[in-house]
Amino acid sequence: MLPESTASPEASKTVKMLAIIEQRNTLSGCHADLTDKYLLLMLFKLGMDIAVIFLCCRKPFHSFLAMCSSSIVLADSLMVFLIAHIWFLGPERYPVSLCFLMAYASAAYGALPLPIICLGLLDYFLEDTYLSNQRACCKFLRNAVLTLLVWMLAVIYTFWSVQPDLMEMDFENGIKALVCEVEESTLIDYLILGVFAAVIFTMLPFWSMIPQWMKEAERLSEAREERDNQSSDLLFTSTCNTETKIGEENYLQDTVQMCPPLWASLTMGFGAFWMPYLSVSVACLIFGFAVPSYITVNLLWLECTNSLLMGVVFWVKSKKQGPYSNLPENVCMWHVYWHLSKGAQHRQLPMAVFNPSKEKRNTLLYV
């Protein structure tokens, strides 16, 4: 359940809101502590993040953004632990107030998006350089240090931006409330609105062709899975030569009258997976559901941003490398939509051949 919040009088300048911590009815004498509501909210977010990391992050430490996903899960777990302690012990017996915790948490989470986006984009652009050829332990250490540095900068930022003081507000119906000032992440709001609008306006000229292209993309995906299943029995090792024999592919006939351009195809691949999340987020923004940053900075947003950055890097690098790059796996099937945009002459999907001289890397060959 979302704790009740009201806009701050200085919201137009500071983009903050007032989260209600306690309520008291002076007429009936009823008193309500909303700590349990915040605990339920954080438990819901933690459960959602754990589900997302299992569904989307197959290799949680392979890239910088994947490491950030794991760090957000750890931060959410710490938040749940601290709020649970405050709820069990009571605000009077706990050394830190709930307002102190929520105010600093909202500021720290709100400072994360910009450095995460910048470093994540840089990490993907450097995938095919010397840094990508480092050993797995070195890459893990590099990502861990960068993630820790981002969190340290976010925590340091809170020292100058947070005022963790409870304020009392009087309402007309005789209700008094203790409120706390928390921050909202406007960067995430603008990013979601911008990406949603970009996907809609990009695909608008091709609206009538989208169902046909989606069916063809699904057929290509099934063909790729079938090829992977068949080739798993044909993989062999050789230190000198590598030869492959691929049978004739009758299932990859061209049924699309007009192939989409690469940028439209990749946009369609991104929107096919992430438009439900973007639509719900935009609807919440339109109806004025203000949400503090310690809720909006979650793994759904991070994985959506991860797909966006990876799609941009894939589009830029595909001009020289085709669909073959060292980018990690993603929920968006970039390779399938690359083949969709290239037409029948590029519809033969590659076969992976294992070479023992290059550990954990597959050589993808055209046939």
For 32-45, how does the pLDDT look when each residue is reduced to its tens digit (9 = 90+)? 778 889 999 999 99
Segment 187-205 shows an average pLDDT of: 93
CB 41 within 8 A of CB 1: yes
Please state, rounded to an integer, the average pLDDT across all residues of the chain: 78
Alpha carbon 116 to its chain centroid, in Å, reads 11
- Give the tens place of pLDDT for each residue, 63-92: 899 999 999 999 999 999 999 988 888 767
pLDDT at residue 309 in the model: 94
Q: Where are the domains of the chain?
A: 5-183, 191-365
Task: Choose the weakest-confidence range: 166-170, 178-182, 231-235.
Answer: 231-235
The answer, yes or no, to whether residue 194 has pLDDT greater than 70, is yes
Task: Choose the weakest-confidence range: 85-89, 93-97, 212-216, 332-336.
Answer: 93-97
**Three-state secondary-structure class, residue 243:** coil
The answer, yes or no, to whether residue 307 has pLDDT greater than 70, is yes
* Cα–Cα distance for residue pair 349/69, rounded to 1 Å: 31
pLDDT at residue 235 in the model: 37
The answer, yes or no, to whether residue 97 has pLDDT greater than 70, is yes
Work out the angle at residue 41's Cα, subtended by the Cα atoms of residues 92 and 190, and round it to the nearest 5 degrees: 120
The answer, yes or no, to whether residue 160 has pLDDT greater than 90, is no
Task: Choose the weakest-confidence range: 160-164, 275-279, 303-307, 330-334.
Answer: 160-164
pLDDT at residue 117 in the model: 95
Residue 265: Cβ within 10 Å count: 23
Pairing of strands 167-170, 175-183: antiparallel
Q: pTM of the prediction?
A: 0.79
- Give the tens place of pLDDT for each residue, 130-159: 555 667 788 889 899 999 999 999 999 988
pLDDT at residue 7 in the model: 41
Work out the angle at residue 124's Cα, subtended by the Cα atoms of residues 123 and 130, and round it to the nearest 5 degrees: 70
The answer, yes or no, to whether residue 217 has pLDDT greater than 80, is yes
Pairing of strands 5-7, 167-170: unpaired
